[in-house]
Structure 1
Amino acid sequence: MRTFLTVITLCCATKVVLCALDEPRNARLTSWNMDLVLRWDSPGDPAVHYTAEFNSTVFKFRPGCVNTSALYCDFTDEASSLTVYGTYIGRVRAQRGQESSVWVESGPLTLDKNTTIGPPNVTLVSHGVHMTINIRDPVFRISKMREVYNQASYNITYWKEGKEGKAQSLIVQQNPVVLSDLEPLSRYCVKVHISLQHNHRAGDESRVTCEKTADRERTPWLEAVLSFVVMVMVVTVVVVAVLYRKRLSSFLCPSVSLPQHFKENVFVNKCFSF
């Protein structure tokens, strides 16, 4: 009798194993600009849905996505549960009706150590043979880049268009950056990425941005200043003329009455002239 029950139990257990859903594959946590996303590969059944959870060293697993058909789950919306220095683990399982697969866990991920820093935004402004590089840091989903990495540097690569093989590089922390004494009437290209010196990590590169320098003799900023000064002077003269027009009129065209004997002499002279 005992042997019979054992056989029945084994058969049932075998049936459960055979009927269990295949679990998702290759579960991994990723982070880009301080987001937290669990990704996985399909077990091959297009009819299944997924439930994903995450935990940290300070709280147990909590749900992030329930009954989703996507092959990822973004936990960043749970921002109140995340910190930039936290370490997290994700897990996911497949579901179809009342059936569920086993949980599949990812490896741990620490946001400030493992996130990929996205590309900065770069704009160029030409001033004669000088070029100003304006850099805007990437936007983080949690916190701000300078609050997390206050020693981050800008790795700048620039070259004359068509001569990328002779590109020059510089690493700076200030912003903006001025490239001086470039060749006049030449087009220069620039790309930038964020660099973390303490752990030798590099962020994604910006798109290549190009701008043409002006003639060495031309100084557009000086022309602009002179134009502004002339405009201010003209406006000032017009305003003064309007406000003090009566006084100016009296000064330039005084209304002086001639003496009586002078008027008589003028009258007599006119008469004799006839």
Structure 2
Amino acid sequence: MSTSFSSCLLTSIILFSDLVLGSVPEPKHVTVSSVNLGAVLQWDPVTSEDNVTYTAEFARAFNENRYIQVCQNIRDTKCDFTGNISAFGIFHFRVKSVRQGNASQWVYVKAFTADLHTRIGPPSDVKLKSRSGFLDINISDPLMKIKDKTLHNTFNNVLYLVSYWKKTSREEVKTIRSEQTFLVLGDLEPWSTYCVQVQISVSFNNTAEPSRPVCKRSTSDGKTPGWMIAVILICSLVAVVAVILCLFFAGFYTCKTVHFFFPSCKLPEHYKELLTTTSNSYAFLDIQNNKELDEIFDEISIVLEQPATPIEVMKTEQESKESLEEQPLVERKDDPEFRKDIPHYGNLN
């Protein structure tokens, strides 16, 4: 409460003195803000009234009595001198407040040199690319605000401070110092996420603002683990054995088939002749040609014999006896039928 009261009292005294004496308060906390070779003069407002304006000027050190006006009667509390200075010159700045035709005393900032007092911003871009267990880092320099000036043609000793860490363990941070905008990070754990942050350091111990962290997942390091080598070796052996067995069985069954259709034993010659004769016969040729065979036959008539009567039987026997009696005796002796009919009377001698 006492602090607020003191501030209000001080403001009232200043306003009263301004009204009574007709003077204007000077701008306070005048500084030069410089980022990437820029130059912006800044100050605090002297009062909350809207009728106060400001005028800012600059001069080169070799001609400090000749100030050049850049901002006149502005209500803003800053003035940009970037387009009026060079990277290596020494410059003086001054600013005053104006109200109703009354001006305050000049407030000076002297001996500003852009290359010494500027603050380098973070890299404009940091790109990561993962390949075969490595992380490629491509750094883009920040753009300088002075025309035709770059980071490397303004500063001699430009270093890139590359900090990287595993995302799951931020406390284990590693830092690499390099003069190149392209770096390769190795010795990374495969399939792990790493974050990278870059700062630029220039001469005169001027360290830039760090870039925002950029994270990327690493890939395989290209090295085959031992267990995978063992699995590949076992699978290869199994495949070779399977191929050998397939070739063996294929050859075996091929030989069996060949021996079946082309046996090694030969048929006897008479079988060959028989097969040849049979194949060349007319019947065989007719069968091959699907022709019908012409059958040769005689007609036979079957007549049933009538049973003979007793008279016919006796007549037939009588005729047979008469025919036998008419044959010579000598011829009839050898006939078994004749001997059978002759009665035997024993030995006549």
Q: TM-score when scaled to structure 2?
A: 0.55
Deviation of 1:127 (Å): 0.7
Q: Deviations for 1:225-265, whole angstroms, at most 9, x for unmatched residues?
A: xxxxxxxxxxxxxxxxxxxxxxxxxxxxxxxxxxxxxxxxx
Query: CA RMSD for the aligned pairs?
Result: 2.1
203, 215, 219: which one aligns with 1:214: 219
CA distance in 2, matches of 1:94, 1:209: 46
Please point out which of 34, 38, 41 is paired with 2:37.
34
Q: Which has the higher contact order (CA 8 A, sep 6+)?
A: 1
- 2:197 is aligned, of 182, 191, 195, to 191
Equivalent residue in structure 1 for 2:23, among 20, 30, 34: 20
Alignment-mate amino acid for residue 110 of structure 1:
T
> Using the alignment, how far apart are the partners of 1:16 and 1:102 within structure 2?
17
Query: In the alignment, residue 214 of structure 2 is paired with which amino acid?
Result: T
Residues 1:85 and 2:88 are matched in the alignment: yes
C-alpha separation between the residues in 2 aligned to 1:76 and 1:91?
15
C-alpha distance in 1 between matches for 2:211 and 2:59:
33
Which of the two has greater strand per residue? 1
How many residue pairs get matched?
A: 202
1:133: Cα distance to partner? 0.5
- Where structure 2 has 5 or more consecutive residues not aligned to the other structure, the ranges are 1-16, 224-349
Aligned AA for 1:25? Answer: K
User: Which residue, 194, 198, 204 being the options, matches 2:209?
Assistant: 204
Q: Distance in 1 between the 2:68 and 2:114 partners?
A: 18
Query: Who is 2:127 aligned against?
Result: 123
* 1:54 is aligned to 2:35: no
Distance 1:15 1:141 in 2: 40
2:183 corresponding residue in structure 1: 177
1:39 and 1:21 map into 2 onto residues whose CA distance is 18
CA distance in 1, matches of 2:186, 2:92: 49
1:98 correspondence with 2:101:
yes
Q: 1:29·1:108 contact (CA, 8 Å) conserved in 2?
A: no
> Offset of 1:98 from its aligned partner?
1.4
- Are 1:150 and 2:149 matched, yes or no? no
CA distance change for structure 1 residues 117 and 15 in 2, over 3 Å: closer, same or farther? Answer: closer
Using the alignment, how far apart are the partners of 1:106 and 1:112 within structure 2?
Answer: 16
Q: CA deviation at 1:17?
A: 8.1
Q: How many angstroms apart in 2 are the aligned matches of 1:217 and 1:52?
A: 63
Q: Partners of 1:25 and 1:76 in 2: how far apart?
A: 22
User: Equivalent residue for 1:76?
Assistant: 82
Identity of aligned residues (%): 33
Task: List alignment gaps of at least 5 residues for structure 1.
Answer: 1-13, 219-274
TM-score (norm 1): 0.69
Contact 2:53-2:99 within 8 A present in 1 as well: yes
- Runs of at least 4 residues off by over 6 Å: 14-17
Query: Partners of 1:182 and 1:105 in 2: how far apart?
Result: 54
* Counterpart residue type for residue 26 of structure 1: H
Name the SS for the 1:147 alignment partner.
helix
